[in-house]
Amino acid sequence: MTPPYSPPWLVPALRVALAIAYPFLAHAASLRDSGPLAACALAVIALMALVEGLLARRARAWLVLLVIGLALVGLARSSYAQLPLLLVPVAFIGLIGWSFGRTLRAGRVPLITRIVSALERKAPDALEPELRVYTRRLTLAWTVVLAALGACNLVLAAIAVPNGLLGSVGIVPPVAVTEAQWSWFANWLNYGLVGGFFLLEYLYRKRRFPGRYRNFADFAGRMSRLGPAFWRDLFR
């Protein structure tokens, strides 16, 4: 728990700010082949994970941050500083895709079904049968989209030159992209593709299940009002 004087919105707000800062730092690090900038980008990820503990003044969180900081100082001075950045998009997208996919197992409530049931203020079993089927299929669709996007990120990370995954072990890829091209895809286009899929699905759902939202702002407002605790527990 954060200290009682810390407003409940502070941790989510800081994580959003850090998430926005990351692609700028990672992209700059790739374009400039800068070890210090790469270390700063990785430090942002560490802060995203530790920010709640740091605000709560937990000794363990501060100790972990110190250890990570020392490791990043060493990494910044090495020739391998860019390698972790190549794997961050793969790991991040893969983790989110797994979070969707694991809820499709027997006996689990699909992730999108849980969100919709919270928006509708109904138990998942109380949703209309057509809506339950749709939300399950949509959860599957997100799983497939994210898995495909993660695979694309892994392939591009492998064939990026000169310091991609293959190049770092002395293998010349048969087809290559520049590190700048990889960075534009991994640090920017990823978000555009995910956002585009989200928007198209919203427009389709609004037509298929009319009358639930006045407009996108109303939909986004309802999503935000579910609260940080709901979103935190959703992906656990």
Which tokens hold the place of 201?
Answer: 């699905």
Q: Which are the contacts of 190, defined by CB distance < 8 A and separation ≥ 6?
A: 89, 93, 149, 153
Q: Which residues pair with 177 in a beta bridge?
A: 160
CB 143 within 8 A of CB 95: no
Q: How many CB atoms lie within 10 A of CB 72?
A: 21
Confidence (pLDDT) at 45: 96
Confidence (pLDDT) at 42: 96
Which has the closest alpha carbon to 146: 209, 103, 115, 108? 103
**CA pair distance 2, 66, nearest whole angstrom:** 20
Pairing of strands 160-161, 177-178: parallel
Q: Quick one: how far is CA 187 from the chain centroid?
A: 11
Q: Write the DSSP symbol of residue 189.
A: I
Confidence (pLDDT) at 225: 87
Confidence (pLDDT) at 228: 76
Confidence (pLDDT) at 5: 58
CB 102 within 8 A of CB 234: no
Which tokens hold the place of 52?
Answer: 């709640």
Confidence (pLDDT) at 161: 92
Confidence (pLDDT) at 4: 47
CB 9 within 8 A of CB 55: no
**CA pair distance 190, 184, nearest whole angstrom:** 9
Domains of the chain by residue range: 1-81, 82-236
Confidence (pLDDT) at 2: 46
Q: How confident is the chain (236 residues) per 10-residue block, as mean pLDDT?
A: 62 91 95 94 96 92 96 92 94 94 94 93 92 96 97 96 91 93 95 94 91 87 85 77
HEC readout, 32-54: HCCHHHHHHHHHHHHHHHHHHHH
Strand, coil or helix: 105: coil
